[in-house]
Amino acid sequence: MLAGWKSATGPATCRSWDRAARSELQAALLAARVLIAHNARFELAWLEREGLPWRHLLVFDTMLAERVRAGNRPWPLDLGSVCGRYGLATKEPLIDALMRGGVCPSEMPEHLLRARALRDVETTAELARLQMAALDADGQLEVAYTRCVLVPVLVEIEREGMTLDGERVREEYARVARELGDTERALGELAGGVNLRSPAQLAEFLYEKLGFAEIKTPSGKPKRNAPSKRFPDGAPKTDQKTLALLRARTKAQREFLELRKRYGKLNARMTKCLRFYKGVVDEYGGTFRAQFHQTRVATHRLSSTARPLYLTQFQEELGAQLQNQPREYKRLFASPDPDYVVVEADGAQLEFRVAAFQGQDEVACRSIVRGEDVHRYSASVLLAKPESEITDAERTAAKPETFKPLYGGEYGTDAQMAYYKAFNEKYAAIYRTQMGWVHEAVRDKVLRTPWGMRFYFPNARIDDRGRCADKPNIFNYPVQCLATAEIIPVSLTYLYWRCSLYGIRAKFVNTVHDSVVALVHKDDLERFKEQAKLAFLDDTYGYLEVVYKMEMNVPLGLGIKAGSHWGEGKEEKFSKPYETVLAD
């Protein structure tokens, strides 16, 4: 194995990895204050495995810096592509071709490997210098800093992984398998031998036998696929999006839609989660890990992908990400140590609060300060009932609709459209601000945020009907970015280092959009809560003001749950009144 590095004042070094090289690199790390690397998370994980010091270093990741410059544009972010955009040397072609071909480095010419390592080190250092200058000139250096300070935390989260409760997993697997079989049989009986996996047979069954009305365009024509021999006027659509729009008028139609919806949900639970969970419990002791990504989502919030495991009982590799778990499956994750509890710290209604801040909407801020139930309000509009008459079940059912207007939601049932209109009228300042973003994007083809992020919409236009196809993304990107790519990473980073500084026994195991999950020793739980309040409230306010020059005058909120399993336990809610709250 070869290791390459350079200090700020010396030339690049490339050494065969042995005790002497390790000692030399350790001395260089201890003398350094900043670590520059491309995809630094990989380098830090390697340093951690080697037992080398790195936690004292501030990270500058050239891959993350380039992602900030790209905004939402899908630029290639490998080192060769990034260097090419700055006129720097790209990768040595022979070694690059061998690596892409799967050749082991031990089989490659050593002198070419050394040359490749030295060149990568030198060009990465020069790339960082050029990026810093460009970021500073564009007012984006602070955004890149925010991305980079999160990297050490993600290294720990990826190392820890999460642990499943074997008994609960097996019970849920058996239940879903049983219900899935029952639902599939019921669908088969209703279809009477029709192959529901065949688009042509499904189309005949839906529109001829069951008599569903086809979904139509605004001009009244049926939405169809290309013509075929069986359907010369176009094949009726049978995709999932179309099925979700079908409306039942008969008993048979209602039965089919209910069975189809149930089957889809159960099948997704089984294929996306439970088969993998059961395999992990049976064959890997119940713990699995995922890989986090800071460069894949247009809004710059985190995403994750599975680290696949080969499961003998299913004879294939399966995996599951740590984000976007079904909410009801949080209960399947437990603390592997009885002395530790699973704690979730959640930014309460974060995106709504962020939208209220961005729009300086006094009505929204007043609603937040008073603790008004926005989900009960949405249910009352959707169901045309007073809020006092809304049941808990009706409130829960309305949750998916509550914030759709924030993301440009306009169309749906009559009740949904009435709610979207009422939301935009009630929170008029938010709506005006977001429509201002639309006009800016149409005019400039780029939307610039106050904290430095830029989102590009090269094809944004207003069509003949007065609509903008990019409107949902234009509404969404600034809100989601500030909430989940800026605020939550800042809160998480502060909490991580606070726990380290004060000796709190906490292992960070996940972060999901607006929340942080950690295993905390029972004896340190109250201290952890106090540090969480400081991190999510005081520290975050201060960071936004000092780094981004933004005075957050809408109160942020925090909810904390602690229990033996993820998401269990009574929620404690906290909110720090700000000195200049908008609604005061």
CATH class of segment(s) 163-288? mainly alpha
The separation between CA 564 and the C-alpha centre of its own chain, rounded to angstroms, equals: 25
User: What is the arithmetic mean of pLDDT over 313-334?
Assistant: 91
Query: Which helix or strand (DSSP H or E) is residue 428 part of?
Result: helix 428-444
Q: What is the pLDDT of residues 101-160, one digit of tens each?
A: 888 888 888 888 898 899 999 999 999 999 999 999 999 999 999 999 999 999 999 999
Burial label for 207, CB within 10 Å (0-12, 13-18, 19+), is: middle
More confident residue, 525 or 228: 525
Using N-to-C axis directions, what is the helix angle for 471-480 and 350-359, rounded to 10°? 100
Strand stretches in 477-529, DSSP E: 506-512, 515-521
Instruction: Supply the pLDDT for residue 579.
Output: 47
Q: Indicate the domain borders of the chain.
A: 2-149, 163-288
406 C-beta neighbours (distance < 10 Å), count: 21
Reading phi first (left if > 0) and then psi (alpha if -120 to 50, else beta), residue 51 is in: left
User: Among 236-240, 331-335, 341-345, whose mean pLDDT is lowest?
Assistant: 236-240
Task: Tell whether the torsion through CA atoms of 382, 384, 387 and 392 is positive or negative.
Answer: negative
Residue 547 has pLDDT above 90, yes or no: yes
Distance CA 401, CA 570 (A): 25
For 265-387, list the strands marked E by DSSP.
Answer: 287-288, 290-293, 303-306, 309-311, 316-318, 333-334, 340-347
Indicate the pTM of the whole model.
0.91
Judge whether residue 356 has pLDDT over 90. Answer: yes
Residue 116 CB partners (closer than 8 Å, separation 6+) = 91, 92, 95
State how far the Cα of 258 lies from the Cα of 253, in Å rounded to an integer. Answer: 9
**Among candidates 195, 206, 279, which has minimal Cα distance to 244?**
206
* Residue 220 pLDDT greater than 60, yes or no: yes
Task: Write the pLDDT tens digit of every residue in 438-484.
Answer: 999 999 999 999 999 999 999 999 999 999 999 999 999 999 999 99
Neighbours of 218 (CB within 10 A): 6
Whether 430 has a pLDDT exceeding 90, the answer reads: yes
Kindly state the average pLDDT of the residues 260-271.
94
Residue 228 has pLDDT above 60, yes or no: yes
Evaluate if residue 397 carries a pLDDT over 90.
Answer: no
Mean pLDDT rounded to a whole number for the chain: 93
Q: Is the pLDDT of residue 583 over 60?
A: no
All residues at 6 or more sequence positions from 98 whose CB lies less than 8 Å from its CB, including other chains: 108
- pLDDT band at 182, cuts 50/70/90? very high
Q: How far apart are CA 42 and CA 45, in angstroms?
A: 5
* Mean pLDDT calculated for residue range 356-380: 92
Write the class of the CATH domain 2-149. alpha beta
The reply to whether 163-288 shares the fold of 2-149 is: no
To the nearest whole percent, how much of the chain has pLDDT over 70? 99
Query: What whole-number percentage of the chain has pLDDT above 90?
Result: 76
Give the tens place of pLDDT for each residue, 504-536. Answer: 999 999 999 999 999 999 999 999 999 999 999
- Radius of gyration (C-alpha) of the chain in whole angstroms: 27
Would you state the pLDDT for residue 582?
A: 55
